[in-house]
Structure formats: C-alpha cells, structure tokens
Structure 1
Amino acid sequence: MDVQILASGSGGNCIALRSGSTTILIDAGIAKTKIEKRLLDVGISVAEISAIFVTHAHGDHIKGLPIANKYRIPVYASDGEWNGISGVDDELRRTVSTLYGKYEMIELDEFHIYPFKTHHDAYEPLGYAIEDDHGNRCSVVLDTGHVDQDMLEMMEGTIYIIEANHDPQMVEEGDYPDSVKARILSDIGHLSNEQTAKALYRLVKGRGERIYLTHLSGSNNMPVLARMTVEAALQRRGLLAGEHYFLEVI
C-alpha cells in the first residue's frame, strides 16, 4: 500500500492511499487546486480517485471537497458530520452507516474500509482502518483527544497514520487563550506526543510497521520531540527505529 501525505496540520489535511489500481483520499482539507497539484507531484491523477473519506467536518479536513463535484468523486462521511458539510452534490454523498451500533465495512475495489469512532469536538468524528488485497492494514487517526480500547482494536495493523499534535508543557506555556489550551488538552481535543507514544507502544509489534506522525502543531510541538517521544516508548519494548519499524514525522 502506497501512502502519500499530501497535507498535514492545522493548515489542511489530505492523505492519498493507493493499492493496485485503487486510490482513495482521507480528507480534503486544502484547496482543490493544491490537491490536484500535489497528486500530480506524486504521480496520481485526480481522475483515479475512487472516493474521499472524511474524518470530520472541520475546515482543515474538508476545505477542498468541491473537488468531488468537479471529478464526480463519491464522498463518505458519518451521518453526524454531514451536518457540517455543504457544497457536495447530493448524488455524490455517501453516509457511513451503522448496524447494531457498529460502523459497517465499506468495500471499494481493492480496499475494505472499516470506520470507527474517535473523540474530537465535532459532530460524529471517525477514524478509518483500510485493508487491501495484499495483506496491508493501515489505520488513520487524525484528530482525537484520546485513544480508547475499541480504537486500539480497530487500529492494529501494518501502517499507522496518527496525529502527534502537541507537547502539553508547550501548550501550557504558550500564548493561546486558556479556553483554547483547555480544548487542545481535553479528551475531545488532540493527542499529545506521549498519548501517541502510549498507543503505539501497545500496537507496534516490530514486524516492519510503518508509522507516520501527522498533524503536528507548529506552535506547540517540534518534529524532533515527537520522534524522540515515540522512539523512547518503543525502545522500552526493545524495538528500534529503522530495524523493527520505520518512522516518518510529517
């Protein structure tokens, strides 16, 4: 499975996943012209996109959704998140449905997509676990205030795309208003480096997994700090970067 992080952070989020002849986007949080250009930069035509999957309806995740109308791309989102999304033609709207309280799997060409609940200050935010026909399983968790046991069970796989948003001390000492600090640090805010490290400690088995740390705050984090926190946690399990797993900070 090929992973291309086209954009990450408060300025916009967009991820392309490709396996065989099937390509999907997770979020479209930058202008559609930028999505077109960045896809071409990595050798993907927008016409190849089979669907767009939305995690939640904040602007840095849906700004570029008008691209769906231009190229007639189906857009999947939870029923709650459709309350915050406008401008997508009705015939392209797809609702991620539930059955007996759990989200149903979506089959799309070579992908099987498993939505799951996350914890963010949005209507009904989702993470996604994506399996392909070659034994890869990629989990995408972009905005969540914590990772619970149900999420861990859904996330387990071979590729992890997960936010490492902030360092709590940097948040506390920063210039943000107290209300914004409280939001970031809350259970429906964003993951700290340490929270991300604890989740990966439980998930990574040292079988060559690929880890992408995303959605880093430009004000409240540093790439080297995010990397060091995760690597230190995994080293306590005897796992070394570049040998047992591969880590990239976006």
Structure 2
Amino acid sequence: MTLHFSVLASGSTGNAIYVETEDQRFLVDAGLSGKQMDALFTQVGRDMKNLSGLLVTHEHSDHIKGIGIVARKYKLPIYANEKTWKAMDGLIGEVPLEQKFTFDMETVKSFGSLDIESFGVSHDAAEPMFYVFHHEGKKLALITDTGYVSDRMKGIISNADVYVFESNHDVQMLRMGRYPWNIKRRILGDYGHVSNEDAAIAMSEVVGDKTKQIYLAHLSADNNMKDLAKMSVSQTLEGRGIRTGEQFELFDTDPKKPTALTAV
C-alpha cells in the first residue's frame, strides 16, 4: 500500500489533513469540533479510533479546536513542539501526560514505514511548523499558514509528488474588502498568509519532475474564490513557463467537504 491522504477540511473555519500508509495513520491538526471530525472521517471511509497519532502545526483555534477532544476520546498521542505545547495550555483541556509528545522543529521522526519531517514556517504563532511525509520514495508536502516561503522552506519541500499549498487570498479582494486595516496588514505581512500569486511564484521554484498534484489550501472565504485561486495560480505559473494540466494538476480544497482519499 502506498501513501494516501485526504484534505478533510481547509480554511479559516477549520483545518485537518489525514495521511496514511499500510501501518500508520496520522491526523495533522483538528480545527473542527469532535462531532465534525467524526463526520469527515466517515465521509472518507475511515475511523478516528484507528489513528496512530495527532500532529499539531500551531496553536490557532482553526487548527486545534478538536485536538484535545479527539485525543481524549480515542486515547491518542499528540505531537507538537515545546513552544506550541506551552501556547496550547488552557486551549485544549487536560491531556494525560502519557499522550503528550514533543516533536521538535527541523527534525525527522520515523513511525514504522513513514518518515515525518517537520519544518518552520513564518506565521504569528509561538513556533509554527508544517510537515513533509516520506514513504517508499514518495513525498507529500504540507505548507499553509505562512506569510512567505523562504529558500530554506523551498529546499525542504522541493520536488514533492504532491503539495497541499496555501493560496489564501487575492490581494485586490483583500485590499478592497471589509476587514479592518490592522487585519489586512497582518494577512499581507511576513507572518500572515501567502496570496495566490505569491503561492504560485513559490510553487514555480519547488515543483519538479516528480510533482503530479497541487492542492490549493486555506482559501479565505472573504478574500478569495476557488476559481479565482486556480486561475491566478495557473496564470502566474504559465508566465514562468509552467503549464498546469500538463506537468501537474491543480485541485481545490474545501472548508466543509473532504477531498477523496488519494494515493500520492
């Protein structure tokens, strides 16, 4: 069995990504209620009781809302770095000590057939980090919630088979929209979220011969649209000599509906 994944939910209302191999099953973030998480798992034909563990990217509520609930209900280990653990204190309820594990930034942990690599991103959280999954030569890279994509990040995620890549906002929609200026400034800043165009520029510098699919993630409900994101990303990539649909496919993600469980 190969590496499989589903973007269960993606957006400012809640984020969760499921990754599995023949012997490991991990959930990255659980930013929805326990009930919603159960329903999403049912939709992809899986059961949370079979999870190997929970991986946390950072402490914002749209990523950890259900973490404590799920961990307690199914007696699952939670993995997060020390600063994130401290920042989550009081936000996820009591978690038994035997279920709390530290996953340092810029390290690789091996779980059976699956190697999970952590790397830091630029976001207004304690110590935000995302993950790359390696299994039998396949590589799945997750990167959202970052204000920009540094050369160091690009080196870690380069030439993945599949990307789940932030494409948060259209700059014009954000500038013209109803958000107060301090929120707009936060989103546009180095510790906010990447725009459609900036995401595409970063993609153009990391996609490789292996790359087959890119999932556009964490789209803003107020400052983006699925079709606009795909069009903007495609046009920017084309301007840099990369044609989507030929080298790789672009896919949507949704805040409420999971993507199909897909092989990497």
Interval of TM-score (by shorter of Structure 1 and Structure 2): over 0.9
Distance 1:233 1:172 in 2: 20
- The structure with higher relative contact order (CA 8 Å, sep 6+) is 2
3-state SS, counterpart of residue 155 of structure 2: helix
CA pair 206-238 structure 1, distance change in 2 beyond 3 A = farther
Structure 2 residue aligned with 1:195: 198
2:30–2:63 CA contact under 8 A, matched in 1: yes
Greater share of strand = 1
TM (normalized to structure 2)? 0.89
Give the C-alpha shift of residue 230 in structure 1. Answer: 1.6
Specify the code of the residue in structure 2 equivalent to 1:49. L
3-state SS, counterpart of residue 80 of structure 1: helix
Say which of 34, 44, 47 aligns to 2:46. Answer: 44
Give the C-alpha shift of residue 31 in structure 1. Answer: 0.7
TM (normalized to structure 1)? 0.93
Structure 2 residue aligned with 1:94: 101
Distance 1:6 1:196 in 2: 21
Structure 1 residue aligned with 2:244: 241
Give the C-alpha shift of residue 235 in structure 1. Answer: 2.4
Give the C-alpha shift of residue 238 in structure 1. Answer: 4.1
Distance 2:126 2:208 in 1: 33
The reply to whether residue 209 of structure 1 matches residue 215 of structure 2 is: no
Distance 2:108 2:30 in 1: 21
Give the C-alpha shift of residue 222 in structure 1. Answer: 1.2
Give the C-alpha shift of residue 236 in structure 1. Answer: 3.5
Distance 1:38 1:137 in 2: 24
Say which of 190, 213, 229 aligns to 1:226. Answer: 229
**Structural mapping, 1:1-250, within 5 Å:** 1-65=3-67, 66-85=69-88, 86-87=92-93, 88-97=95-104, 103-133=106-136, 135-156=137-158, 157-250=160-253
1:159–1:211 CA contact under 8 A, matched in 2: yes
Give the C-alpha shift of residue 237 in structure 1. Answer: 4.6
Structure 1 residue aligned with 2:262: none
Distance 2:177 2:236 in 1: 25
Q: Give CA deviations for 1:130-164 in whole Å, capped at 9, x if unaligned.
A: 1012x211111120101001100111211101110
1:128–1:140 CA contact under 8 A, matched in 2: yes
3-state SS, counterpart of residue 166 of structure 1: coil
Where structure 2 has 5 or more consecutive residues not aligned to the other structure, the ranges are 254-264
Specify the code of the residue in structure 1 equivalent to 2:168. N
Q: Give CA deviations for 1:37-75 in whole Å, capped at 9, x if unaligned.
A: 211211111122111111100000000112011111111
Give the C-alpha shift of residue 89 in structure 1. Answer: 2.3
Alignment RMSD: 1.4
1:206–1:245 CA contact under 8 A, matched in 2: no
3-state SS, counterpart of residue 40 of structure 2: helix
**How many equivalent residue pairs?**
245
Distance 1:45 1:235 in 2: 40
Give the C-alpha shift of residue 243 in structure 1. Answer: 2.6
Distance 2:233 2:72 in 1: 39
Where structure 1 has 5 or more consecutive residues not aligned to the other structure, the ranges are none
Runs of 4+ in 1 over 4 A off after TM superposition: none
Distance 1:247 1:34 in 2: 26
Distance 2:135 2:96 in 1: 28
Give the C-alpha shift of residue 7 in structure 1. Answer: 0.8
